[in-house]
Amino acid sequence: MQLILQKKVFYNKFKQIFSMFLNDKLALISIIFLIFMVFLALFGPSLINDSFTKMNLRLRNLEPFSFDHNFMYFFGADALGRSMIARLIIATQNTMFIAGSAVILSMTLGGALGLISGYFGGKTGNLIMRIADIIMSFPSLLLAVIVLYMFDPGLLNLVLVLAFTRMPIYMRTARAEVLEIRERLFVSAAISMGASNSRIIFKHIAPLTIPTLITIATLDFAFVMLGESALSFLGVGIQPPEVTWGLMVAQGRNYLQLAWWLAFFPGLIIMLVALSLNLLSSWLRIVLDPRQRWRLENIGDKNE
């Protein structure tokens, strides 16, 4: 009986979320597109035949949208005659991996630091926030350029730099949330019950901050991706022969008048992924805010 009830509750919850998705068609399209991109990043490279990624001088700068060749050449080929589609898929993996690791790293580290700073306050807390201020007070792109110039541009350094420059967002948000939640009565209740600090942080405070951090992370994924591509574009990001979408745009820039598609398609994909993430994040923000939720739940809003 209990189990059936639980199942029903779960089912209803699922239905509710699903119907909220349906009410926001753009969010639905975004999530489908993003799932497709994640699939490509995970399995794409292993599905591509090697011949498409090898030089093929006969197909140099092949124009897109022609059916004369294999489907893999539908978006054309690059200056070395490699299939654009194959290149894009390989770049997907790199781009997604870099942005994903940077976001996860900055979210966990920044979130944890913010949590500590907010909960314990005092000198340590202030010091942590001052560090966040210093990082924030400087343009992140320039900071990344400088750091990558001092050390070596490369995959690991790129991830670290991107994570580092985005950390303050999570630190500030987590801290602000903690400062607010810490004053709530259920935390006082737990303290007067004798709960330990770790219990209060992990059981009472963290579960309430995580949804906000995830919403930010969704948006930040787009930001980090744009940052990575800008760095690769400037030549201090990922280095050839590795490839990301940003690097493809940079390389295509030299052939702009000869073969516009080399720079155009990777840039378009960057924008579409970033847009999907933005749409998803704005949807998440509404879903997680009970005061705005009715906008999505309200099925009968036709006239207004």
Partner 1 sequence: MSNNVNSLLKVSNLAVSFDTVEGSINAVQGIDFELNKGQTLAIIGESGSGKSVTASVIMGILSCPPGRIKSGEIFLNKQDILKLSEIDRRKLMGNKIAIIFQDTLSHLNPVFTVGAQIAECFEVHKNYTKKESWDKAVKLLDRVKIPNPYKRAKDYPHQFSGGQRQRVMIAMALALEPDIIIADEPTTALDVTIQAKILELLAELRDERNMGLILITHDLGIAAEVADKVIVLKNGKIVEKGTLKEVFIKPKHKYTKELMNSIPGKFNQRYKRSDNIDTNPILEIKNISKSYDTLACDNINFNLFRDEIIGIVGESGSGKTTISNLILRLIEPSSGCILYHGRNIFDFDKKELFNFRRKVQIVFQDPYASLNPTMNVFDIISEPWIIHNDFLHKKLHQARISELLTSVGLKPSDSKKYPHEFSGGQRQRIAIARALALNPEIIICDEAVSALDVSIQAQIIKLLKDLRKQFSLSYLFIAHDLPVVKDLADRVIVMKSGEILEEGNVEKVFNKPVNPYTIDLLKSSPSIEKLLSN
Partner 2 sequence: MRKYLSKRILSSLLAITGLFVMVFFLARLTGDPGHLYLPIDAPVEVRKEFSEKHGFNDPIYIQFGRFLEDLSEGDLGYSLRKERPAIDIVLEAIPVTLSLAAVAMTIALIGAILIGSLAAYKPNGLFDRISRVVSLTAASAPDFWIAITAILIFSVSLGWLPTSGIGGLPYWIMPIGILVIRPLGLLVQVVRGSMITTLSSDFVKTARAKGVKEKKVIFKHALRNGLLPVITVAGDQAAAIANGAVIVETIFGWPGIGKLMIDSIMQRDFAVVQASILVTAIVILSINIIIDITYAILDPRIRHK
| Residues at the interface with partner 2 (CB under 8 A) | 26, 130-131, 133-134, 136-142, 145-147, 149-151, 222, 226, 229-230, 233-236, 246, 249-250, 253, 256-257, 260, 263-264, 266-268, 270-272, 274-275, 277-279, 282, 295, 301, 304
| Rounded distance between C-alpha atoms, residue 64 and residue 204, angstroms | 55
Q: Whose Cβ is closer to partner 2: residue 146's or residue 189's?
A: 146
The verdict on 196 binding partner 1 (CB under 8 A) reads: yes
Q: Provide the 8-state DSSP code for 299.
A: T
Which of the choices partner 2, partner 1, none does residue 192 contact, using the CB cut-off of 5 to 8 A by kind? partner 1
Q: Which of residues 12-41 bind partner 1 (CB under 8 A)?
A: 16
As measured in angstroms, the least distance from the Cβ of 13 to partner 2 is 24
Tokens standing for residue 28? 């639905």
Q: How far, in whole angstroms, is CA 31 from its chain's centroid?
A: 13
Position among 46, 192, 198, 257 found at the interface with partner 1 (CB under 8 A):
192
Q: Are 163 and 100 in contact (CB under 8 A)?
A: no
The verdict on 11 binding partner 1 (CB under 8 A) reads: no
What value, to the nearest 5°, has the Cα angle with vertex 234 and ends 233 and 239? Answer: 70
Q: Whose Cβ is closer to partner 2: residue 81's or residue 267's?
A: 267
Q: Whose Cβ is closer to partner 2: residue 183's or residue 304's?
A: 304
Tokens standing for residue 274? 């970033």
CA atoms within 13 A on the CB side of 187: 18
Where residue 81 falls (left for φ over 0; alpha for ψ -120 to 50; beta otherwise) is left
The verdict on 194 binding partner 1 (CB under 8 A) reads: yes
Q: Whose Cβ is closer to partner 2: residue 256's or residue 288's?
A: 256
Distances (CA, A) of 59 to 22, 90, 185, 251: 44, 19, 69, 18
Q: Whose Cβ is closer to partner 1: residue 47's or residue 193's?
A: 193
Q: Whose Cβ is closer to partner 1: residue 145's or residue 187's?
A: 187
Q: Whose Cβ is closer to partner 1: residue 80's or residue 195's?
A: 195
Position among 188, 197, 254, 292 found at the interface with partner 1 (CB under 8 A):
188
**Which residues, other chains included, contact 128 with Cβ-Cβ below 8 Å and sequence gap of 6+?**
113, 114, 116, 117, 171, 175
Reported as type and span, the H/E element at residue 140 is: helix 140-150
| Rounded distance between C-alpha atoms, residue 62 and residue 75, angstroms | 9
- The label of the residue with tokens 């030089």 reads 55
Which of the choices partner 1, partner 2, none does residue 109 contact, using the CB cut-off of 5 to 8 A by kind? none
As measured in angstroms, the least distance from the Cβ of 205 to partner 1 is 10
Position among 189, 258, 271, 288 found at the interface with partner 1 (CB under 8 A):
189
- The label of the residue with tokens 């801290």 reads 175
Q: Are 304 and 51 in contact (CB under 8 A)?
A: no
| Rounded distance between C-alpha atoms, residue 220 and residue 282, angstroms | 12
Which of the choices partner 2, partner 1, none does residue 130 contact, using the CB cut-off of 5 to 8 A by kind? partner 2
Which of the choices partner 2, partner 1, none does residue 137 contact, using the CB cut-off of 5 to 8 A by kind? partner 2
Size of the site for partner 1 (CB under 8 A): 28
The verdict on 298 binding partner 1 (CB under 8 A) reads: yes
Q: Are 197 and 132 in contact (CB under 8 A)?
A: no
Q: List residues binding partner 1 (CB under 8 A).
A: 2, 5-6, 16, 184-186, 188-196, 199, 203-204, 207-208, 294, 297-301, 304
